[in-house]
Amino acid sequence: MTLKIMVQGTASSVGKSLLVTALCRIFKQDGYSVAPFKSQNMALNSFITEEGLEMGRAQVAQAEAAGLKPMVLMNPVLLKPSSDKNCQVILRGKVHSNMSAQEYQNFKPELLNMIKEDFKELSKNHDIIVIEGAGSPAEINLRERDVVNMGMAEIVNAPVILVGDIDRGGVFASIAGTLLLLKEDEKKRIEGIIINKFRGDIEILKPGIVMLEDIIHKKVLGVIPYTDIRIDEEDGATERFYKNANNGSIDIAVVNLPHISNFTDFDPFERIPDVKLRYINKGDSIGECDVLIIPGTKNTIGDLKALKQYGLFDEIQALRKKGTFIIGICGGYQMLGKTILDPYMIESSVKETEGLGLLDIKTVIEKEKMTTRLRAKIKGNLPKIMKPFEGLDISGYEIHMGETSILSDKPFCTIYERNGVKLEIEDGCESNDGRIFGTYIHGIFENNNFTKAFINMVRKEKGLSAIDEILDYKAYKEREYDALADIVRENTDIKKIYEIMKGYQD
């Protein structure tokens, strides 16, 4: 019989995803076959499976922590916002349609059977399923058609752990207030509380815990200290965009676009010595940097307009004249071109938009989305500065709606495999001097050979010595999963969580 535990939160970004990741690794360490599940995920940071299907990035990290390959069964519904009121609805890894918030709310009841089927199928092969909620179960305006919080817990008869974030303040009030707004049968499902992101002396906190338990009649199962564990994140509420960058001789600046997607593309830079990675937010100037990266986005045309509104358009042109390395990934690659055409008005009401003009390419936004895992080889006959890249074998994934044509510049690489099928197709583009290039390949910097060559290219231009090795990214993530599990195990009553799960066996 499969055991279940569900993690819900008092709000978004209180640590639900991280706690699910930790529990997946803990149960795996204890010898169980465990899988994550989130019925409905809203995130711009997505991933493509080996089958070419799209799912939320958080469930990918959780699957990795559980020692599994990511599967869309773990995330049946993915919502990718394209504006404040509209989103792309992805079901079982494939685009279903674009809907307004109200349209999706009306559509939810049709998802119930699919969610039940996928959970049942996932449960067949695992001892434990760790389920993640979304936002807060106290969003009472959404209760009637809920499929991701208490609605999900009721569907599969799962016990719930409620997580609150003490770092943002008001954790006792947020926990008590959440319980106040739940129905009696929902309250009964909450079997314990975890307080997350604690800084300070636990002895000072303990009296408050006792008082809270007296008020809510629930036990606090753990107080997890604030940690600097580097696990893939999935949404724009992440602190990474606003924290102080580390010092380093190589300054890499990434534009935090309004609809930035797949910002985990740049996580590998955080583990390379002497590299400073920072994000350019609304109101910031880019300043001097060695590398400027324009990342992926769910709305290329809208975010290109934002670059102009932020005053960054002219600043990017000035950096080009100075010889700064400028890179575009996916939507950022499209922005580097001369023109973006939107004939079906998928992203805007304007059919043609002027790009940055830094690469001689044009992009047409198409109706169909390209979602693939791929392998590629960097082209030969590169500009002198890019010679270290020549012939390198790389892997990654594509998620894009546009098709880009090279007008006069050179292609960056040749894709020779998509979703296991052999082919030969050009990707990306590079400038004649090698200081600007773009590609549709997400995850390109997870390739150690490429990232090492890239960093050493920049270091050479600055007159710095080359780095010899960088830590393998997969090994790095495994170490972080184990470190996270250790912290949660040490500060949480894991024995009690096992007892709670066993008490809900069907």
The confidence score (pLDDT) of residue 235 equals 54
- Exposure on the CB side of residue 37, measured as CA atoms within 13 A: 29
Q: What is the mean pLDDT of the chain?
A: 93
Whether the pLDDT of residue 126 is over 80: the answer is: yes
The pLDDT value recorded for residue 472 is: 83
What mean pLDDT comes out for the span 53-59?
Answer: 94
Whether residue 400 lies in the annotated active site: no
Query: What are the two backbone dihedrals, phi and then psi, of residue 250, each rounded to the nearest 5 degrees?
Result: -100, 115
442 belongs to the catalytic site: yes
Measured distance CA(262)–CA(399) in Å, rounded: 10
Measured between alpha carbons, how far is 355 from 267 in angstroms, rounded to an integer? 27
397-421 pLDDT, tens digit per residue, is: 999 999 999 998 899 999 999 999 9
Instruction: Report, as an integer, the average pLDDT of 422-429.
Output: 96
Indicate if the pLDDT at residue 237 is higher than 60. no
pLDDT at 321 over 70: yes
Mean pLDDT of all residues in 448-456: 95
- pLDDT class of 190 with cuts at 50, 70, 90: very high
Residue 242: what pLDDT?
A: 66
pLDDT (0 to 100) of residue 240:
66
Torsion sign, CA atoms 85, 90, 94, 99: negative
In the predicted model, is pLDDT for residue 196 greater than 80?
yes
Mean pLDDT of 117-141: 96
> Stretch 312-322: mean pLDDT, rounded?
95
Q: What is the pLDDT of residue 81?
A: 87
Q: What is the mean pLDDT of residues 69-77?
A: 97
Q: How far apart are CA 155 and CA 121, in angstroms?
A: 14
pLDDT attached to residue 244:
60
pLDDT above 80: residue 83: no
126, 259, 400, 442: the catalytic one is: 442
Whole-structure pTM value: 0.89
Q: Which two tokens stand for residue 148?
A: 């991701």
Q: 3-state secondary structure string, 231-256?
A: CCCCCCCCHHHCCCCCCCCEEEEEEC
Asked whether residue 308 carries a pLDDT value surpassing 60, the answer given is yes
| 8 Å CB contact between 301 and 344 | no
Mean pLDDT of 37-52: 93
230 has a pLDDT exceeding 50:
yes
- The yes-or-no verdict on residue 234 having pLDDT over 60 is no
How much of the chain, in percent, has pLDDT values that exceed 70? 97
What 3-state class would DSSP assign to 468?
Answer: coil
Given the residues 330, 400, 413, 429, select the one marked as catalytic: 330
Dig out the tokens for 440 from the structure: 């549709």
Whole-number pLDDT of residue 236: 47
Residue in 406, 386, 412 with CA at minimum distance from that of residue 329: 412
**Percent of the chain scoring above 90 in pLDDT:** 82
> What domains are there in the chain, each with its CATH number?
3-231+478-502 (3.40.50.300), 250-463 (3.40.50.880)
Residue 33 has pLDDT above 50, yes or no: yes
CB under 8 A, 24+ apart: contacts of 430-434: 430/359, 430/382, 430/383, 430/386, 431/358, 431/359, 431/383, 432/383, 433/383, 433/385, 434/382, 434/383, 434/384, 434/385, 434/386
Q: Which of 427, 441, 114, 146 is nearest to 265 (CA)?
A: 441
